[in-house]
Structure 1
Amino acid sequence: MTFQISAISIYNKDGEIRTVPFQTGTLNIITGDARRGKSAILTIVDYCLGSDEFVIRGAALRNFVHLFALTVVKDDQQLFVARPAPVGKAATNTTFCIISQAHGAPPPAYTELTFSMPLDIAKKVLSKFTGIDPSVQLPVARSVRQLSPSVRHGLFFCLQEQNEVANHDLLFHGQTEDYHRPALRAMLPYFLGAVDPERAQREHQLKLLRRQLAEAQERLEAARPFQHASGTAAALLGEAIEANLLDPAPAGHLRSHDEILARLRIATETTAADTVPPAAEDPLSALAATRRDLRQAYAQTRVRISNLKTVAREKDDFLGQVHEQRARLATLGLLPRAHPEMPPQDGLCPVCGSHAPDASQATQIMRQDLERLNAEMTTIGEATLDVNARIAEEEEALADLRAALARNQEEIEVLSAGQRAASQDDPQQRAAVVQGRISLFLDSMARHTQAPPVADRREELTMQIAELEEQLGNTVQDDLLSSYLSLVNQKIQAKATALELEHHDEPIRLDPQALTLIADTRRGPVKMSEMGSGQNYLGYHIATMLSLHEWFTEIRSPVPRFLILDQPSQAGFPDETRDGGFGSARATLLNLYTTIQASLQELHGNFQVIVLEHADLDDEPFRSAVRARWRRSNGEALVPEHWITYDADQ
């Protein structure tokens, strides 16, 4: 079992304590006028259970309360959790005081409290008290990070603020926050009991391995060694010649990788001559002409490959027809005899085996046709092999042309960049720019050469990924989630029927991805937001929360065993609804509390509901569940009136 709320307490600057007690295992209602501090009960619980923000509103609470505290109980254990209000202009306070107490002990005096526990440690202590396993790691959809369940995640199912309890667009507490929705989707299966922690860990490991494989591929691409006479090196060599840093090489001379690098190093140490190279020597024009030739050769090679593939297909079709004709003749027993010394059976019909005139002549003609077909099959088969070999040669040539085009494009880009960077009117400046580009290239290549080799782990990672995928191939977890949701859905539908909600006579299901309820009708699925009327939204919220807590209790899930509802009656019910008025609205609200009470009775004290209300009914189970009435007429409120004092200069 996990914890319920025994009391909330507030302290003023003088150390005076105001405590609001609650009964565990039952319905607790605080009713009263607006702005008397009812809604602050929910936000105080949220703040003391590790909220990252100071969520408490109201001038009296912010100005005259210096400490907020919560007393929670589990079996015979009791924990007192205190958290100060922010000091000065601070947005929140991140220190806690958490004390283990004897069951039933009152809140300690302010002087007995020491605030030294940081927020992250306080969350871990509260999560452990809730019963959450700290070693569990859950994967988050479309993210490489993992989440550890905490008490904060349990509060998704324990709190319903005033703007949430009847909201048609959201079902769970905090669902409006973008960063909460992925956490909700990850946590719902866990708290429902459908998550195997070991499987969750393997799923996260699989996600990490896939990312490592992609990164390994990127590193190998980046570490690929420089190709001999690469486009960049060759283009820089051309720039150096054009800038008069090097003499032109003999026409048609093939340069090795080492020769190009050696000449580039010479270019960095050479002082450019003042003469300008002949106008006819334009490397860009030469590269453009080369590119035209390469593109023409590329197009011609593609045409040849297409023609060869057409010939191959035609030969395959013809060969298929020849096979068919040969098979027909072979069935007549006209294949070569197994024993050539056996004399032919002249005068016998090859079809029926009987004696017939001119049978020998017909047999001879068909045998000749069969021999011709055998010869054609052999010839065509050999020709097909030749065509396939030609196709392979042409495709290899096409790949070489594609690589040559890529190198040519790289040379054009490098030369174009160099010409844009340097002044055409100043040979010395152009030469200096080219030398700088060559130096940068040589330095980059040196760093690449000296860097430690990148290990190729792709095969290892691929094997690990395949192994994990095989382990995770089964759908046990998905089946468990579907099964458990089906049981929860049955509970929701039963409560929808008791509350007479729209679509209560049709299948209702909780969608763990859309985080909403859906009614499956003959007209198609209907989401909760499309069901209409505040009564339906309110009813389905409460039906869902009660059903989930019934399931959490049955499977002993580590979710806090309380539900706080802030003003379920909303503005549709006046502050004072006693003396039997307000007809159907009153009956609807009373039916809501009857449904809550039925759920509490079914759980035999293992669940607690706290309701903060405007309405005040004089009927059971409402009347006996009221713990306080905070009204202006009786001067009662969360913050005592004598705490609210202002200095004269305020």
Structure 2
Amino acid sequence: MSMQIAKIVLYSHRGEIREVSFRLGAMNILTGASKTGKSAIIDIIDYCSGRSECNVAAGVIRKHVSWYAIIFQLGEGQLFVARKNPGVGDKTSPDVYIARGKAIEIPPFEELHKNITVDALEKFLGSAIGISENEHRPDLQTRDPLEANFRHALLFSLQDQNDIDSKQRLFHRQGEDFIGQAIRDTFPYFLGAVDEERLLKQAQLDQARRQLRQLERQLRDAEEVDTRALPRAMMLLDEARQVGLVDERYRAPDSEAALAALRRIAKEDRARDDVIIADGEADLADLRAERQSFRTDLERVNAEIRSTKLFTAETGGFEREAKEQRARLSAVGLFKHNSDHDPEQCPVCSSVLSAPVPAVTEILSSLQDLTQDLQAVEAENPRLQMRLASLEAEADALENRLRENQQRISARIRENEIQKVQQDTFILRARVIGKVIQYVETAGETRADSTLKSRVDLMRARVTMLEAELDSETVKEKLRAFLNIIGHHMTEYAAQLELEHSNSQLRLDIRNLTVVADTEDGPVPLYKMGSGENWVGYHILAHLALHRWFRKKGRPVPAFLILDQPSQAHYPPSQDVEGSLDVLEDDDRKAVRSLFNLVDQAAKELSPTLQIIIMDHADLKEDWFREAVVERWRGGVKLIPPEWLNN
């Protein structure tokens, strides 16, 4: 499906919206002075299309924009893609919002939220432009297979101001790690030299090769079976004897008897009767868990026994002390129990004391308290003794259960060892039975004179046919033919620009990713051509020729081409005077007009299938140029509105 750009939308942090609209299927020119934000257009498109990092230059745009957005035109419908501007110090943001409809209305700032991942966005865009399942497998297997995706396709649609005048790089991001190789690997797919069903045919070839290997192995087995000696049958019978599938005293008198014995083994399939279902390791784990539980309980009971014994010892000490005190106080019974006794007079001899003694009532009160405490302690002692006896009995029971558990664990370990031997025997038997069954089936159903040979021949023919359809040389031949056609278009465009070597046949060199002019003195690559005029001119005509091919063949590449500062070789920013070409020399003015005129003619020729967007300083006075201008960023008009800066 064709993909073009209807609008670029920016959101401020306050929710204000800035729109830049473009015409579909035509040339669009965004002209203006330096530092107005023109070059950020490519970085915004790149970022909103799933690039891992936001390359919009740090400054006014990064500071005042909260979300970047694009409205893509997809056939009769539209797709709105918004991506959050990374925060200060961040290189990217995972927040992506998409919406799809017949005619998208720009959603308000409050509705923007993450509803898709960056990876899912990339797959969605690839599916939207028609990228089918594909895979490039290097001939020498020097690197992993690569699948062409939307990010690869976008490389053919962007030319920033550093790309467009480079003599070393023809494509966007070509000089970055792995990008150049990715362009080489995916080029045949995007040009259409690779069959759309290649991945399916590759899977069919892989399956056919596996089946062929199986049939060839069966044929070898059949040829071995067809011999008189049948050495493999005797070997299999020996293996069966070693694992107990036949009586160890049995010896086959000849090969036919050995084959008959093997057929009996295959028919009985004894492995089914010997399957060991019990899971000894699980039982052992349960027993060990039970032992741990017993140990925990025993530790708890022992701790309680220690606490009880300590409490009993402490109450015994208290009892002894209390009895001694009661004995001392009991002497109060010798005295009179009158309440008016003078505490300063001796109760025995009635002499005056230097220090007063306690009253008899106080001593009697203390004696009564001690007696009550002793009675409580003496009443508690039997219960403590009973509790202690109960705890000790529980501890004995737990120790017995621990001993029983240990015995069961030891028995389980011995049983597991026996079981493991049985399982190993079962595995050996199952392996031998499998070999016997395969051999018997081969011996019984296939002979050298059977249909097996014809099946092998048919499968070999299928493999050969699929290999021919997937032959890399076939792809290379188609690629060379397509590149010759594209080179012819490039030569036509070069004649209009009057570039150096424009009279020579031009071609794209996919291996080196450059433009080559085939002259009478030999090939001349782009990096050997002089002047920025040639570099810019050949970049533009190469991409125009490529998109002419993409659109003619309906290839899954975005139907837009974005060119940043194509006039820079003749009209540098330092000479900009309101976009006028009057400040230029005649040759430079002619070259700039020819360049824009070529792009305009190509856009009209390919309309409405191709959209071309140009950002430049130049502002020509010709009517066709003015009709193509979508915005002029001069006199304070920029990508970021001035009121955003004030806010």
Aligned to 2:333: none
Aligned to 1:636: 637
Q: Which amino acid aligns with 2:76?
A: D
Q: Which protein has the bigger helix share? A: 2
Residues 470 and 149 of structure 1: CA distance in aligned 2, closer, same or farther (over 3 Å) = closer
Tell me the SS of whatever aligns to 1:139: coil
Q: Is the 8 A contact 1:2 1:130 kept in 2?
A: yes
Aligned to 1:606: 609
Structure-2 separation of matches of 1:85 and 1:25 = 29
Which of 120, 135, 138 matches 1:137? 135
Structure 2: 5+ residue runs without aligned partners?
210-427, 432-455
Structure-2 separation of matches of 1:179 and 1:207 = 28
Aligned to 1:51: 51
- Shift in Å at residue 117 of structure 1? 0.9
Output one character per residue of 1:509-561: Cα deviation in whole Å (capped at 9) or x when no partner: 11111111111112111101111111111111000111111111111111111
**Alignment map for 1:97-108 (pairs within 5 Å):** 97-103=97-103, 105-108=104-107
Aligned to 2:95: 95
Aligned to 1:354: none
Structure-2 separation of matches of 1:516 and 1:469 = 31
Aligned to 2:117: 118
**Alignment map for 1:272-287 (pairs within 5 Å):** none
Q: Which amino acid aligns with 2:124?
A: V
Structure-2 separation of matches of 1:512 and 1:200 = 22
Output one character per residue of 1:89-142: Cα deviation in whole Å (capped at 9) or x when no partner: 332012211100332x33110112221311100111111111212x22222465
Tell me the SS of whatever aligns to 2:163: coil
Tell me the SS of whatever aligns to 1:168: coil
- Shift in Å at residue 482 of structure 1? 1.2
Q: Which amino acid aligns with 1:623?
A: R
Aligned to 2:288: none
Aligned to 1:507: 505
Structure-2 separation of matches of 1:586 and 1:58 = 34
Aligned to 2:545: 547
Q: Number of matched residues?
A: 401
Residues 608 and 514 of structure 1: CA distance in aligned 2, closer, same or farther (over 3 Å) = same
Residues 557 and 467 of structure 1: CA distance in aligned 2, closer, same or farther (over 3 Å) = closer
Structure-1 separation of matches of 2:21 and 2:528 = 39
**Alignment map for 1:228-247 (pairs within 5 Å):** none
Q: Is the 8 A contact 1:140 1:182 kept in 2?
A: no
Structure-2 separation of matches of 1:117 and 1:26 = 31
Which of 573, 577, 580 matches 1:578? 580
Structure 1: 5+ residue runs without aligned partners?
211-449, 454-459
Tell me the SS of whatever aligns to 1:518: strand
Q: Which amino acid aligns with 1:615?
A: A
Tell me the SS of whatever aligns to 2:161: coil
Aligned to 1:444: none
Q: Which amino acid aligns with 1:83?
A: R
Tell me the SS of whatever aligns to 1:136: coil
- Shift in Å at residue 643 of structure 1? 1.2
Tell me the SS of whatever aligns to 2:6: strand
- Shift in Å at residue 153 of structure 1? 1.1
Aligned to 1:563: 561
- Shift in Å at residue 604 of structure 1? 2.4
Q: Is the 8 A contact 2:536 2:569 kept in 1?
A: no
- Shift in Å at residue 578 of structure 1? 2.3
**Alignment map for 1:287-366 (pairs within 5 Å):** none
Q: Which amino acid aligns with 2:616?
A: E
Structure-2 separation of matches of 1:204 and 1:586 = 57
Q: Is the 8 A contact 2:4 2:611 kept in 1?
A: yes
Output one character per residue of 1:423-471: Cα deviation in whole Å (capped at 9) or x when no partner: xxxxxxxxxxxxxxxxxxxxxxxxxxx9x99xxxxxx9xx999887566
Structure-1 separation of matches of 2:18 and 2:469 = 56
Tell me the SS of whatever aligns to 1:475: helix
**Alignment map for 1:10-409 (pairs within 5 Å):** 10-103=10-103, 105-133=104-132, 135-140=133-138, 142-199=141-198
Residues 587 and 620 of structure 1: CA distance in aligned 2, closer, same or farther (over 3 Å) = farther
Q: Which amino acid aligns with 2:182?
A: A
Q: Which amino acid aligns with 1:508?
A: L
Structure-2 separation of matches of 1:115 and 1:467 = 49
- Shift in Å at residue 621 of structure 1? 2.8
**Alignment map for 1:482-497 (pairs within 5 Å):** 482-497=480-495
TM-score where L is the length of structure 2: 0.58
Residues 546 and 470 of structure 1: CA distance in aligned 2, closer, same or farther (over 3 Å) = closer
Q: Is the 8 A contact 2:156 2:171 kept in 1?
A: yes
Q: Which amino acid aligns with 2:563?
A: L
Structure-1 separation of matches of 2:206 and 2:184 = 17
Tell me the SS of whatever aligns to 1:115: coil
Which of 528, 533, 536 matches 2:534? 536
Structure-2 separation of matches of 1:622 and 1:480 = 38
Q: Is the 8 A contact 1:53 1:92 kept in 2?
A: yes
Q: Which amino acid aligns with 2:527?
A: S
Tell me the SS of whatever aligns to 2:155: helix
Q: Is the 8 A contact 2:160 2:563 kept in 1?
A: yes
Aligned to 1:261: none
Q: Is the 8 A contact 1:575 1:616 kept in 2?
A: no
Tell me the SS of whatever aligns to 1:147: coil
Residues 467 and 618 of structure 1: CA distance in aligned 2, closer, same or farther (over 3 Å) = closer
Structure-2 separation of matches of 1:152 and 1:31 = 27
Deviates most, 58-67 or 136-145: 136-145
Structure-1 separation of matches of 2:596 and 2:176 = 30
Which of 615, 624, 628 matches 1:625? 628
Aligned to 2:323: none
Tell me the SS of whatever aligns to 1:169: coil
- Shift in Å at residue 613 of structure 1? 0.6
Work out whether 1:596 is the aligned partner of 2:599.
yes
- Shift in Å at residue 488 of structure 1? 0.7
Structure-1 separation of matches of 2:483 and 2:615 = 29
Residues 474 and 579 of structure 1: CA distance in aligned 2, closer, same or farther (over 3 Å) = closer
Residues 204 and 169 of structure 1: CA distance in aligned 2, closer, same or farther (over 3 Å) = farther
Output one character per residue of 1:10-69: Cα deviation in whole Å (capped at 9) or x when no partner: 101111110110111111111111111111111111111111111111411111101000
Structure-1 separation of matches of 2:469 and 2:563 = 43
Q: Which is higher, the Rg of structure 1 or of structure 2?
A: 2
Q: Is the 8 A contact 1:137 1:201 kept in 2?
A: no
Q: Is the 8 A contact 1:138 1:197 kept in 2?
A: no
Q: Which amino acid aligns with 2:42?
A: L
Moved over 3 A (4+): 140-144, 197-210, 463-475
Structure-1 separation of matches of 2:646 and 2:583 = 39
- Shift in Å at residue 209 of structure 1? 12
Residues 465 and 5 of structure 1: CA distance in aligned 2, closer, same or farther (over 3 Å) = same
Residues 578 and 474 of structure 1: CA distance in aligned 2, closer, same or farther (over 3 Å) = closer
Tell me the SS of whatever aligns to 1:612: strand
Q: Is the 8 A contact 1:139 1:200 kept in 2?
A: no
Structure-2 separation of matches of 1:19 and 1:191 = 32
Structure-2 separation of matches of 1:635 and 1:208 = 66
Q: Is the 8 A contact 2:567 2:592 kept in 1?
A: yes
Q: Which amino acid aligns with 1:108?
A: P
Tell me the SS of whatever aligns to 1:55: coil
